[in-house]
Amino acid sequence: MNKKEIDILNVKEDIINENDENAAAFRKELTEKGVYLLNLMGSPGAGKTSTLLKTIEALKGDYRIGVMEADVDSDVDAKTISETGVKVIQLHTGGSCHMDSAMTKQGVEGLGIEDLDVVILENIGNLVCPAEFDVGAARKATILSVPEGDDKPLKYPLMFQVTDVLLINKIDAMPVFDFSMDKLKDNLKNLNKDISIFPISAATGEGVDEWTRWLKADIETWRKNK
């Protein structure tokens, strides 16, 4: 694929509202095909794309990776990701603030997964809608960045309830902002006891090793249990 020519696919929501059933069937299909799908979520500007870049760098020696960049508009993120050499497709949601499982399935068909081990969906930047829709992923990861504040779990509880792993990004900016890791953990306590938390800086690379080690181990565990 030419690095500047990005495939753009307009994906359509499931209007019959059978998302949960479709998601379960789609997850089964991906499992049978041996493709681990990660649903990466977070606010606009939390650092999803730059974290993705570091994650691809750490994983691409071990796995054949594909990326689906979901956006309301533009293809800037897909262009950035394509520079890494991994397979990438830009999905446009037509104004929708989330991806559902039907849209994700359309994306996977557009991307083509026969030669892939791991697919990462960068969801729409949003802490509300994406939390409400199971896309059929093996795992959900959410990025919260330090400048957003440690009170976000109180305001957007569902996102922090449903996610499996939480990356706290931009920890290099910690001295500039009033962010307390203890307060964050306190705010998460009643929402999600099993959550794994990784403080990282996608800019400096700090903490990225711990996160990608966890991810690799999770992919291996998933492969064994599938």
Site residues for its own copies per CB under 8 A: 43-45, 71-74, 76-77, 95-97, 124-129, 132, 145, 147-149, 151-152, 154-158, 170, 172-173, 176-177
Q: How far is the CB of 96 from its own copies (least distance, A)?
A: 8
74: left (phi over 0), alpha (psi -120 to 50) or beta: left
Q: How far is the CB of 160 from its own copies (least distance, A)?
A: 11
CA angle (21 as vertex; 73, 142 as ends), nearest 5: 50
Q: How far is the CB of 181 from its own copies (least distance, A)?
A: 16
Nearer to its own copies, 25 or 174 (CB): 174
Nearer to its own copies, 31 or 80 (CB): 80
Nearer to its own copies, 59 or 93 (CB): 93
Q: How far is the CB of 104 from its own copies (least distance, A)?
A: 17
Return the structure tokens found at 78. 């897909």
Residue 41 CA to its chain's centroid (Å): 5
Nearer to its own copies, 64 or 79 (CB): 79
Q: How far is the CB of 219 from its own copies (least distance, A)?
A: 29
Q: Which residues of 109-130 are buried (b: 16+ CB within 10 A; e: fewer)?
A: ebbebeebbbbbbbbbbbbebb
Nearer to its own copies, 14 or 117 (CB): 14
Q: Which amino acid is at 197?
A: I
Nearer to its own copies, 1 or 128 (CB): 128
Q: How far is the CB of 105 from its own copies (least distance, A)?
A: 21
CA torsion through residues 191, 70, 100, 32, sign: negative
Contact 99, 135 (CB under 8 A): yes
Residues whose CB falls within 8 Å of the CB of residue 42, separated by 6 or more in sequence, listed in order? 48, 123, 125, 127, 142, 143, 144, 145, 169
